[in-house]
Amino acid sequence: MPASFIDTARISVRAGKGGNGAVAFHREKYVAAGGPDGGDGGAGGSVVLQVDDNLSTLMDFRYKRKYAAENGADGQGARRNGKGGKPLVIRVPRGTLVRDAETNEIIQDMSGGEPFVLCKGGRGGWGNAHFATPTRQVPRFAKAGLEGEARDVILELKLLADVGLIGFPNVGKSTLLSVVSKAQPKIANYHFTTLFPNLGVVYVDEETSFVLADIPGIIEGASEGAGLGHDFLRHIDRCRLLVHVVDVSGSEGRDPAADFDAINTELAHWSPELARRPQLVVANKTDVMTDERLLDALRAHVEPLGIPVFPISAASHVGTRELVRAVAEKLATLPPVTVYEPTYVPRPPTPDADEPLEIEHADGVWYVAGKWLERLMANVNFSDYESRMFFDKALRDNGVFALLEERGVQDGDTVDLYGLQFEYQR
């Protein structure tokens, strides 16, 4: 396991720009007026997220914050299209949430195995071969490639565990994890031995297993940032079941019932929904228990809440097998691990209409081009109705239609915006 645990990171990503179309003409001996043959530019590379189960933290993103995919190559003569830019694959741990840095909305939950296109590469520009008509046989222009999408995102790792071990430091969570699984967490007799979450797979029988996570650093005030809890409470969010470990030995002079209430208070402050998550209580360190009344008091406090209590000694393996079977039986009745649905709605950028537009009219087609228009189109999802309505409003509000009418556009004329063609209607 890593020496430090990084579970949030902010990065900037940019997809590649599309290559420019070429202006070229066919030249061959004995072939007169060969005509335009400029090829199209290649599409820019996209930025793709991919789950990598060999990663367990977001440590790599601490040192590199900016990621850019490859641009598409420009088109060439002889109708040779430019090569598309290579996609940039960014590998993240399973369970990583991707949020929009500006709105904090969820873009994608990287819990499955499917790759996710975070930023789409820009389209390549058309070469002049596209613009030849019977009346315009020598088009001396081509279109530039579009910019790729760019955005700032926050990566947030929420561990994918079925069961979360919670409780105060030094109550034996790491020891229990090491006993019931093959995990090898650091174990010592002092507080905050565990400085990052540990995961282990618990095998109940040939057909049954579950993932158990030791969540460190939860103390009173954890939900407000005390101790390490503010960093790691998020990792309990996906757990279907919480195993609440309490020290009943009395060796540190603590009240087990008060510890139980204190931890649950922190869970409620962090997330009311998390406080309602099913729990089992583990009364640990019974082998060194000095006063059985502590265990009796814990039972009397917890069992009326409908929460079973399992007395065990993790160090001597007493009661651990019964606990594992009870956890497996409870999990069989619970829904699967939470997968977060995207809440992000694409919002195209506000165009800077102060930049001039180029308008050319040829053969009944009005060609409109401009830097702000290019950037706007690169960020519009034309398959989405609301995005198309936003685009139409942006053109109208920024005077594109008024400018076309000043130049003499007529109803039924074709308007071309970087390859997007529509019939003009007032």
Do residues 98 and 153 share a domain? yes
239 within domain boundaries: yes
Task: Please identify, among 106, 122, 157, the residue that sits at the C-terminal boundary of a domain.
Answer: 157
Query: Is 315 in the same domain as 361?
Result: no
Which amino acid belongs to residue 329? Answer: E
Q: 422 and 286 share a domain?
A: no
Specify whether the CB–CB gap between 60 and 17 falls below 8 A: no
CATH code of the domain in which 353 resides: 3.30.300.350
169 with 185, same domain: the answer is yes
Our count of domains for the chain comes to 3
Residue 179 lies in a domain: yes
**Do residues 233 and 319 both lie within one domain?**
yes
Q: Is 253 contained in some domain? A: yes
Tell me, yes or no, whether 134 and 184 share the same domain: no
Query: The domain spanning residue 175 has which CATH number?
Result: 3.40.50.300
pLDDT at 193: 45
Examine the domain organization and report whether 115 and 248 are in the same domain: no
* Domain shared by 99 and 149, yes or no: yes
Cβ burial 141-174 (10 Å sphere, 16+ → b, else e): bbbbbbbbbbbebbbbbbbbbbbbbbbbbbbbbb
Is this structure's pTM higher than 0.95?
Answer: no
Burial of 114 (0-12, 13-18, 19+ CB in 10 A): exposed
Q: Would 85 be classed as within a structural domain? A: yes
62 and 107 co-located in one domain? yes
Count CB atoms within 10 A of the CB of residue 133: 11
Domain boundary among 157, 180, 204: 157
What CA–CA distance (Å, rounded) separates 236 from 277?
Answer: 10
Q: Is residue 339 assigned to a domain? A: no
Examine residue 27 and state whether it is found in any structural domain, yes or no. yes
For position 101, which CATH number holds? 2.70.210.12
Q: Look at residue 142 and tell me if it is in a domain.
A: yes
Indicate if 95 and 238 belong to the same structural domain.
Answer: no
Show which of 135, 157, 179 is a domain's final residue: 157
Task: Let me know if residue 343 belongs to a domain.
Answer: no
Is 224 in the same domain as 273? Answer: yes
Contacts 24+ apart (CB under 8 A), 248-252: 248/283, 248/284, 248/285, 248/286, 248/289, 248/294, 248/295, 248/298, 248/311, 249/284, 249/285, 249/286, 249/288, 249/289, 249/290, 249/294, 250/289, 250/290, 250/291, 250/294, 251/285, 251/288, 251/290, 252/170
* Cα(265)–Cα(180) distance, integer angstroms: 28
Question: Which residue in the block uniquely carries the two structure tokens 């997330």?
Answer: 271
Torsion angle of alpha carbons 157, 162, 167, 169, nearest 10°? -50
Can you give the pLDDT of all 426 residues of the chain as single tens digits? Answer: 344 456 889 999 999 999 999 988 888 777 666 788 899 999 999 999 999 988 888 988 988 999 999 999 999 988 899 999 999 999 999 999 999 999 999 999 999 889 999 999 998 988 888 877 776 677 777 878 888 999 999 999 988 889 999 988 888 888 999 999 876 655 445 444 445 678 888 999 888 999 998 887 565 554 454 444 456 677 788 899 999 999 999 877 789 999 999 889 888 888 888 889 999 999 999 998 888 899 999 999 999 999 999 999 999 999 999 999 999 999 999 998 888 899 887 766 666 666 788 888 877 788 888 878 877 877 677 777 777 888 888 888 888 888 889 888 888 888 888 778 888 887
Dihedral, CA atoms, 29, 31, 36, 39, nearest 10 degrees? -50
Q: Residues of 39-58 as b/e, b for ≥16 C-beta within 10 angstroms?
A: bbbbbbbbbbbebeeebbbb
Q: E-strand spans in 239-340?
A: 241-247, 279-284, 309-311
Q: Are strands 66-68 and 150-157 parallel, antiparallel or unpaired?
A: unpaired
Let me know whether 109 and 167 are in one domain.
no
The three-class DSSP label of residue 38 is coil
Report pLDDT for 1.
Answer: 39
Beta strands in 329-413 (DSSP E): 358-362, 365-369
Task: Give the residue numbers spanning the domain of 44.
Answer: 1-157
- Which stretches within 253-319 are classed as H helix? 256-270, 272-275, 292-302
